[in-house]
Amino acid sequence: MEGYNEELDERLELALGRLGEIKKEELSDSAYTQYFRANADLLLMLSDILVNENISAKEMKALNARLYADICGDAYGKSYCDPAYAVRLFGEERGRLLSVVAAEMRSAIPAAAEHDRQPFLIRAEYLLQLYGEVKNSLEDEGELPAYENLKESFYYFVSDYYETESLKKVRGLTDPEDNFALKIIKAAKPFDPDILYMYGEYITDNELVLYKYISGLSDEKIALMADTYTEGYRKGFISTGKDLSKKKTVDIRYPIGLERVVARAVDNFEKMGLKPVIYRAEQSIFTTRSVEKSGYFGANPNRQYDYDHREDLGIILDSQLLTRRLECREEAFKAYREKALVHAGPAVIEVFGEEPFKPVNKKEAITYDAAQRELMARYVSENARINNSYIPGDERSFTIISFPVPEIGEKFEEIFDAVIRINTLDYEKYQTIQGRIIEALNEARFVHVKGGGENRTELKVALYELTDPAQQAIYENCVADVNIPVGEVFTTPVLEGTNGCLNVSKVYLNGLEYKNLFLQFKDGMVSDYGCDNFDDPAEGRRYIEDNVLFHHKSLPMGEAAIGTNTTAYVLARRYDIESRLPILIAEKTGPHFAVGDTCYSHQEDIKVYNPDGREIVARDNSVSVKRKTDPKSAYFGCHTDVTIPYDELELLEGIRVDGSSIKIIENGRFVLEGTEELNKAFEEV
573 part of a folded domain: yes
Say how far apart CA 204 and CA 437 lie, in whole Å.
45
* DSSP letter assigned to residue 280: B
Q: What is the pLDDT of residue 3?
A: 53
Q: For residue 285, what is the DSSP state?
A: T
Q: Is residue 199 a contact partner of residue 281, using CB atoms and an 8 Å limit?
A: no
What's the pLDDT tens digit per position in 246-257?
999 999 999 999
192: domain range? 180-390
C-alpha–C-alpha distance, residues 205 and 176, integer Å? 31
Give the pLDDT band of residue 291 (cuts 50, 70, 90): low
The beta-carbon contacts of 121-124 under 8 Å, at least 24 apart in sequence, are 121/8, 121/11, 121/12, 121/15, 122/157, 122/161, 122/164, 123/43, 124/12, 124/15, 124/16, 124/19, 124/43
**Cα 584 to Cα 572: distance, rounded to the nearest angstrom:** 13
User: Where is 515: in which H helix or E strand?
Assistant: strand 512-522
Is 276 part of a structural domain of the chain?
yes
Looking at the fold, whether 224 and 348 belong to one and the same domain comes out as: yes
Q: Is residue 175 part of a domain?
A: no
Nearest to 400 by CA among 307, 478, 489: 478
DSSP 397: -
Co-location of 435 and 352 in the same domain = no
Whether the CB-CB separation of 280 and 297 falls below 8 Å is answered with yes
143-164: average pLDDT: 97
- Look at the chain and report how many structural domains it folds into: 3
Examine residue 401 and state whether it is found in any structural domain, yes or no: no
Cα–Cα nearest to 391, from 331, 339, 335: 339
Residues 331 and 253 in one domain: yes
Residue 150 lies in a domain: no
Q: Are residues 370 and 491 in the same domain?
A: no
Residues 378, 468, single domain; the answer is no
Q: Is residue 136 part of a domain?
A: yes
Out of 250-259, 452-461, 543-552, pick the least confident.
543-552
Mean pLDDT of the region 655-663: 96
In this structure, the answer to whether residues 88 and 203 fall within a common structural domain is: no
Rounded to whole angstroms, the Cα distance separating 378 from 370 reads 13
Q: In whole angstroms, what separates CA 192 from the centre of its chain?
A: 29
Beta-strand ranges (E) seen in 353-457 are: 399-404, 446-451
Q: Name the H helices within 114-179.
A: 117-140, 147-174
pLDDT above 60: residue 1: no
Bond into 485 cis (ω within 30): yes
Q: How many Å is the Cα radius of gyration of the chain?
A: 26
Shared domain for 382 and 438, answered yes or no, is no
| 459 and 571 share one domain | yes
| Domain match, 561 and 629 both | yes
Tens of pLDDT, residues 324-341: 999 999 999 999 999 999
C-alpha count within 13 angstroms, C-beta hemisphere, residue 186: 9
Amino acid identity, residue 293?
Answer: K
Q: Could you tell me if 134 and 193 lie in one domain?
A: no
In a domain, 170, yes or no: no
Which amino acid appears at position 427 of this protein? Y
Q: What is the pLDDT of residue 289?
A: 67
- Do both 202 and 108 map to the same domain? no
Sorting pLDDT into bands at 50, 70 and 90, what band is 382?
very high
Is pLDDT of 2 > 60? no
Percent of the chain with pLDDT over 90: 84
> Do 569 and 614 sit in the same domain of this protein?
yes
Range 210-234 average pLDDT: 96
Whether residue 158 lies inside any domain: the answer is no
End position of a domain, from candidates 145, 168, 198: 145
